[in-house]
């Protein structure tokens, strides 16, 4: 789908927002990889975000220049989600405890938001399945059909190549300030609890 086609059914086919660069993973997926997976539509992503209560960020970083730090900052400050950070090399990020793996989390997270290398994604998908998560969310720039198939076959919802921060802000009126279409046809901003 072209990112310049504004008339398509998928409202995310808009030009990439300015903050997308902060969410993107450099070189996460091979550029030559053919995409045959049918991704989630905007309503499905909205439903995932609305029903979720917790998000685990796998590959969380303590480096403010990294996309995972930017997204964690947004989720902790601008949402009602319980946010859990996962990185075996860290003990604390943004004042939050960091867990070495999904298996060590004190809860079963609803969404696993992944900031890992392309080749690591099937393993993370299996960890998400083992943890009992509802959704595997591969960050902007991440596309791995093997990981998606593994998760979907186990009953998880799958979102790939989307920034959870951008999607949440778009559905909750946060991108209108920058001139982007929120998908809401109304003169009033729609506010949601999550």
What are 52-87's pLDDT values in tens digits? 999 999 999 999 999 999 999 999 999 999 999 999
Structural domain count, the chain: 1
Distance in angstroms (rounded) separating the CA atoms of residues 41 and 9: 9
SS (HEC) of 29-75: CCCCCCCCCCCCCHHHHHHHHHHCCEEEEECCCCCCCCHHHHHHHHH
Tell me whether residue 33 is in a domain: no
Q: What is the domain-level CATH number for residue 114?
A: 3.40.50.720
Tell me whether residue 12 is in a domain: no
Tell me whether residue 191 is in a domain: no
Domain that includes residue 66, residue range: 17-23+39-178
Q: What is the mean pLDDT of residues 19-23?
A: 57
Ramachandran area for residue 136 (φ above 0: left; ψ -120 to 50: alpha; else beta) = beta
What are 37-61's pLDDT values in tens digits? 888 899 999 999 999 999 999 999 9
Tell me whether residue 166 is in a domain: yes
Tell me whether residue 136 is in a domain: yes
Computed over every residue of the chain, the mean pLDDT equals 82
Higher pLDDT, 30 or 79: 79
Tell me whether residue 119 is in a domain: yes
Distance in angstroms (rounded) separating the CA atoms of residues 135 and 124: 12
Tell me whether residue 52 is in a domain: yes
Do 62 and 68 form a contact (C-beta atoms < 8 A)? Answer: no
Do 101 and 127 form a contact (C-beta atoms < 8 A)? Answer: yes
Do 83 and 99 form a contact (C-beta atoms < 8 A)? Answer: no
Tell me whether residue 54 is in a domain: yes
CA 165 to chain CA centroid, Å, is 7
């Amino acid at each position: 789908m072209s990112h310049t086609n504004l008339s398509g059914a998928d409202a995310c086919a808009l030009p990439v927002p300015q903050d997308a660069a902060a969410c993107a993973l450099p070189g996460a997926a091979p550029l030559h990889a053919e995409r045959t997976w049918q991704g989630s539509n905007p309503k499905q992503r909205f439903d995932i975000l609305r029903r979720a209560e917790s998000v685990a960020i796998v590959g969380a970083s303590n480096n403010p220049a990294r996309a995972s730090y930017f997204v964690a900052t947004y989720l902790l400050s601008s949402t009602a989600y319980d946010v859990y950070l996962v990185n075996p090399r860290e003990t604390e990020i943004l004042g939050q405890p960091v867990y070495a793996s999904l298996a060590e989390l004190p809860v079963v997270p609803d969404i696993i938001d992944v900031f890992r290398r392309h080749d690591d994604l099937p393993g993370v998908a299996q960890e998400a399945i083992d943890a009992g998560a509802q959704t595997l969310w591969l960050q902007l720039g991440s596309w791995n059909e093997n990981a998606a198939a593994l998760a979907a076959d186990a009953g998880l919802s799958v979102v790939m190549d989307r920034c959870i921060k951008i999607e949440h802000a778009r559905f909750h009126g946060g991108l209108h300030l920058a001139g982007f279409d929120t998908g809401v046809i109304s003169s009033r901003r729609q506010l949601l609890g999550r």
